[in-house]
Amino acid sequence: MDLNKTLENARILGVCAWLSKQLKIDVKVVRIVFIVITLVGFGSPILLYLILFVIKSLFFK
């Protein structure tokens, strides 16, 4: 995994860039999905974002 390339696309914690690399989709799509989920209020997207950050940090170095 090329972490340097992922970090180039990172904005806040790099979760969307990391997730887009794992799912092999464009990072813009992932960011738009997170924004829409946040605006709609579906579940707790901030908590999900933090959980994904922890997973990324612990398991994918």
What pTM was computed for the model?
A: 0.71
pLDDT score of 45: 85
Digit-coded pLDDT (tens) for 1-46: 454 445 566 677 888 888 998 999 999 999 999 889 888 887 788 8
Structure tokens at 22: 């794992």
pLDDT score of 9: 63
More confident residue, 7 or 55: 55
Query: Could you tell me if 2 and 61 are in contact, meaning their C-beta atoms sit under 8 angstroms apart?
Result: no
State the Cα–Cα distance between residues 32 and 54, nearest whole angstrom. 21
pLDDT score of 61: 67
pLDDT score of 51: 92
